[in-house]
Amino acid sequence: MKFLFAILFLASCSVVDDFNRREFIYPGVAKQQKLVLQVPRGYREEKKLLDTTGGKEQYYYYSNGALIYFTNKVSLSTENDSIIEKSNPEPAGEHSFVYHGIDKDGLYWKEIRHETFRFGYSYVPKDRLVQFEQALNSVKMKE
């Protein structure tokens, strides 16, 4: 029994080690709110952009060309805009839509829109897809 527990513990640590916990803090109507993110490790650059109307974007760039992003304004453009214009969204609950596909180079992309938020990834090779999917599925909203 102790052996099984040790294996499960080590396996859970390796999954956690594949991600960096980040927060995306934005001004809410009545108070500050945040998204809690699990960003895949190994990014080479983190970029944060702000606009004068309260828009905020966070990008994480990887050496293989992949990127993952988060923004609190649907009106801000992302890497996937030109592909999204040509695709049909899948409803994913109230006020939520998912766009996804494979680009002309065989790389994966996905964007989730929930209320005023957009988060997604672009240029992801198949061998990293599970990690990026897990990152998007781990996004949690908190007040």
DSSP three-state, residue 28: coil
- Within 10 A of 82 (CB to CB), how many other CB atoms are there? 10
Query: For residue 18, what pLDDT band results from cuts at 50, 70 and 90?
Result: confident
CB 104 within 8 Å of CB 125: no
Which residues are bridge partners to 140 per DSSP? 36
Report the pLDDT value the prediction gives residue 143, as an integer from 0 to 100.
66
User: What's the pLDDT tens digit per position in 85-108?
Assistant: 777 778 777 778 899 999 889 999
Q: Find the angle CA(33)-CA(20)-CA(49) to the nearest 5 degrees.
A: 55
Name the pTM for this structure: 0.76
- Which is it for the CA torsion 50, 44, 119, 98, positive or negative? positive
